[in-house]
Amino acid sequence: MGGANGNRFLIGATVMKGTECPTPPLRWLVDRPIWENQWPLPHDKLIALHELVQEQLDQGHLEPSTSPWNTPVFCIKKKSGKWRLLQDLRKINAVMEGMGTLQAGMPSPTMLPTDWPVLIVDLKDCFFTIPLHPDDRPKFAFTVPTINNAEPAQRYQWRVLRQGMQNFPVLCQWYVARALSGVRKQFPDAHICHYKDDILVATPTQDELLRIQPQLLNALHSHELQVAPEKVYRIEPSIDVTVFITTPDLHPTGIIGQWNDDWTDPLHVLEWVFLPHQPHKTATALFELIARLIIKCRQRCLQLMGADPSKIILPVQREEFDWSYANNVSLQSALEGFSGQITYHLPSHKLLQVAKNTQFSLRPKNSQEPVQGPTVFTDGSGKTGKAIVTWQDGSEWQVLEGHEDGSAQLVELRAAVMAFEKFSQEPFNLITDSAYVADITQRLGCSVLKEVSNPALFNLLKALWCAIQARVHPYYVLHVRSHTNLPGFVAEGNARADKLANPAWVAPQPDVLAQAKASHGFFHQNAHTLQKQFQLTATEAREIVESCDDCHALGAPLPAGVNPRGLKALELWQTDVTQVAEFGRLKYVHVTVDTFSSAMWASAHTGEKARDVIAHWRQAFAVLGIPSAVKTDNGPAYASQQALDGEQQPRAKDTGTRWLPSKCVRPDLRPQRQNSADRQGGSRDQLESHQVDESLSDRSDDSSTDD
């Protein structure tokens, strides 16, 4: 066991194997053994598996086995290049009875007295130091295969807990609590908080903490629990805890530590605090990252000490921090309720020297108001790949043209990069109709760029970021709407850039099919309209519509049998008969609906013959008006000649001009050969496809319609 250095903090602890204290036995749901064959492994993984197994044998974590249980093992290569041994315990966990939980949650360090000295111990590889019960070891056996089955396979079983087994957290808590039970009884006034493999000890006095250290380490040593020398920390209560914010390579990093000029090494690092290597957003402002780091450091201090740090040191100038604090909600939220001291000069130390050499500014370079300089318009087209930068020099318009393959956003971004490279030595105003470009150029002024999966996009973002970081003059970005007829210089310049980026209009192509495809690519007509406009066959028109990606993104076409609708009032009516038994003798209710306005007229009659249809229509004509067409089913009353002749024959009592429907529409019962895409064009096309001339209607007398 190591000693103390100047009564300041523990340097380290060396542990030796002691008497084995087995864990309680596991309970199993089945009596029969589980055997799952070992998977084949590549040659490199097989070599790594042999090395890892030999390493665990030397450490006493494995023993030879003849168990009837078997589960597969495999190796994965970590980023550091080292191999890791894993075992598939899913089948074992399925037949293992759960043991519940012994600790409902993590103990709160805020309940500890703020002026008590604290000792923190982190156990090393807890699952490799807690032994399995001897009766449970055969259940965790595995097989090391051989190449080409040249020799019998070697079989081993684990003597210690395996990470990934179902009851591992419970057994770990039970075992560590058992190791600490003697220390708790010996020092009843000390606060000993244990959670998983972390131990925190707080005592009223510094002397009592020094007395509890060797007892605690001996108790852990007797249970074969290993303590990493670099993971034993004791906080000096008389020295304030400080949070140092560093920015190596513009990646903010926090250090929770103590500083004392009287120590040999004045900086005592309690813990490093890091942010994710890749930010969540493509471009994250640096002050947002610093705000997140401050929040994370304050939360960690609350977990470790139950209080905020006494000081936060930032590597920025005070003027820039004051401006950022006044204009940024993230910093205001990060420092909400902080009563400590904020300073802006890191002390001289080798760990902090890198951050001191990194120069950056929290104040963005883009201006919130237009600047004195040229006004530059940018635009791009994904179809042509042309990136345009245009500006007015005196009375003449200048144009800078580039090319970029890809989507419209990539081309627009290329145009912005060209503008920043062209006007790198002077202030300028950037006008763009791309909301994406306007947003990203304003956020890249003082941001950390995330590496995205699209190489072309990342290269453009990197070029734009470098161009903005190298600027010493301000710039102003304005987003405008495209394709507007608004007056003014801004709309005129944006329209000019748009015309330069888009292709010029060319004469119609002699190929009719090519003309139809080009027209559909712009107007997206339906197949019926294409067939009539370009004199195509129905098959050619349908193929053009079906091959269009935009039309496939629309809703599904109407299924066969859907009623067409009129495009205006009195264009198309729908008529049918329903029976209402409560009306008695007048139970046949004839209903007519205007398919455009949904205006409805209903009348009760004694039957559903042709004469009843004629009587109902006369009432509907008098109330709603005369429609252009009436759609009915193929019932005998509607299909009879009497229903048509009855309306067309003048009567003696009739006076004035008679207005009759021009068409009577009934369903076409012939097989449907029309493609469903043809019905997307609108209800007028559907109406024409179902029109039946009066002269072709079925002829039948009134007697044929009687029931």
pLDDT reading at 68 higher than 90 = yes
**Spatial distance between the Cα atoms of 661 and 684, rounded to a whole number of angstroms:** 17
Phi, psi of 143 (to 5 degrees): -120, 135
Give residue-wise pLDDT tens across range 495-505.
Answer: 888 878 776 55
Show the tokens assigned to 68.
Answer: 């009837």
**Cα 142 to the center of its chain, rounded Å:** 39
| pLDDT for residue 324 | 80
Select the more confidently predicted residue: 580 or 446.
Answer: 580
Q: Residue 477: which of 487, 488, 468 has the closest Cα?
A: 468
Residue 74 vs residues 187, 358, 403: alpha-carbon distances, Å? 46, 44, 50
pLDDT band at 54 (very low <50, low <70, confident <90, very high): very high
| pLDDT for residue 707 | 37
- Beta-bridge partners for 144: 154
| pLDDT for residue 359 | 57
Choose the weakest-confidence range: 14-18, 47-51, 339-343, 381-385.
Answer: 14-18
Q: Quick one: average pLDDT of 573-598?
A: 93
Q: Which helix (H) or strand (E) holds 164?
A: none
pLDDT reading at 616 higher than 90 = yes
Domains of the chain, CATH where assigned: 43-233 (3.10.10.10), 239-357 (3.30.70.270), 375-501 (3.30.420.10), 512-552 (1.10.10.200), 573-705 (3.30.420)
Q: Which helix (H) or strand (E) holds 287?
A: helix 286-305
User: Hey, how many other C-beta atoms are within 10 angstroms of the C-beta on 39?
Assistant: 11
- Beta-bridge partners for 200: 120, 193
pLDDT band at 604 (very low <50, low <70, confident <90, very high): very high
Q: Residue 28: which of 72, 90, 93, 102 has the closest Cα?
A: 93
Give residue-wise pLDDT tens across range 494-534.
Answer: 888 887 877 655 455 567 888 888 888 888 888 898 898 88
Q: Residue 411: which of 442, 432, 439 has the closest Cα?
A: 432
Q: Residue 313: which of 367, 263, 267 has the closest Cα?
A: 267
Burial code (b: 16+ CB inside 10 Å, e: under 16) for 370-394 equals: ebebbbbbbbbbbeebbbbbbbbee
pLDDT band at 577 (very low <50, low <70, confident <90, very high): very high
**Spatial distance between the Cα atoms of 325 and 290, rounded to a whole number of angstroms:** 11
**Spatial distance between the Cα atoms of 661 and 666, rounded to a whole number of angstroms:** 14
Q: Residue 108: which of 308, 294, 338, 302 has the closest Cα?
A: 302
Residues 387 and 501 sit within 8 Å (Cβ to Cβ): yes
Show the tokens assigned to 292.
Answer: 């997140």
Residues 293 and 273 sit within 8 Å (Cβ to Cβ): yes
| pLDDT for residue 11 | 31
pLDDT band at 698 (very low <50, low <70, confident <90, very high): very low
Q: Quick one: average pLDDT of 155-184?
A: 86
Give ∠ CA 651-655-657 in degrees, rounded to 5: 100
Show the tokens assigned to 221.
Answer: 């040593």
pLDDT reading at 237 higher than 70 = no
Residues 65 and 156 sit within 8 Å (Cβ to Cβ): yes
Q: What is the DSSP string of 339-386?
A: -SEEE----S-TTTHHHHH----SS-SB-SS--SS-EEEEEE-TTT-E
pLDDT reading at 193 higher than 80 = yes
| pLDDT for residue 585 | 92
| pLDDT for residue 647 | 56
- Say what percent of the chain tops pLDDT 90: 13
pLDDT band at 555 (very low <50, low <70, confident <90, very high): low
Q: What does pTM read for this prediction?
A: 0.41
CA dihedral 47, 50, 54, 57 (to 10 degrees): 160
Q: Residue 469: which of 502, 499, 444 has the closest Cα?
A: 444
pLDDT band at 355 (very low <50, low <70, confident <90, very high): low
pLDDT band at 235 (very low <50, low <70, confident <90, very high): low
Maximum mean pLDDT: which of 140-154, 227-241, 363-377, 439-453: 140-154
Select the more confidently predicted residue: 363 or 153.
Answer: 153
Q: Quick one: average pLDDT of 477-487?
A: 80
Q: What is the mean pLDDT of the chain?
A: 78
**Spatial distance between the Cα atoms of 159 and 60, rounded to a whole number of angstroms:** 8
pLDDT band at 228 (very low <50, low <70, confident <90, very high): low
